[in-house]
Chains A and B, each alone.
Chain A
């Protein structure tokens, strides 16, 4: 069974600093990869997704992620964060290259941007 690990439960960072949120997955087959963001007291919304093609994926709000198949990672990055980026971020994977397969979520990383 696949699993998704987000190594950092909390990441504090100062405004305008760069940030990387780490995501590793375990799967022996091809995968689809997703990052979701959850602002306080709201549902999850999609930041970006990797289905195929270029391993560098750009999403909304200036975020990007890179798929590294050999390291089974899909780390999320932003070169300069804003206070408004304070939220919880979830990495998710579906296995087998079939988008119809179930998504497995990581435990989430709380990004705390400080002024």
Chain B
């Protein structure tokens, strides 16, 4: 069973803390993505990666960075968390042939 695994389902952090969200996929996909999901705003793309050590900004990259040191792992980093980053974060990897995205279970982050 193919899988995208996000390391933390629920996190609570304080303003100014550094936050790491980890994502691992077992499908040997080259492309991986980080989205955030907020009520009324749908899914918004933060960053994506076409391949190892490659990264591209999405629609809302401000306040975030990413790391892709290995093909299976794509990390989202909040250098200094702020309350407006309280959200659901979704990682996905893509099948390049069909375009289908495979999503993780999501990480719900609360910043106090």
Contact = CB atoms under 8 A, between A and B. Distances in A.
Interface residues of A, number: 25
Interface string B1-25: 0001010000000000000000000
A41 to B, nearest CB: 7
A101 B95 CA distance: 11
A19 to B, nearest CB: 20
Given A105-B43, A108-B42, A99 B96 contact: yes
Contacts of A105: 42-43
B86 to A, nearest CB: 15
A43 B6 CA distance: 10
Interface centre among B43, B97, B98, B108 (most CB of A within 10 A): B43
Nearest to B97: A99
B112 interface: no
Q: What is the interface of chain B mostly: helix, strand, loop, or mixed?
A: strand
Interface residues of B, number: 24
A56 interface: no
A103 interface: yes
A98 B99 CA distance: 8
A103 B106 contact: no
A7 interface: no
A9 B39 CA distance: 11
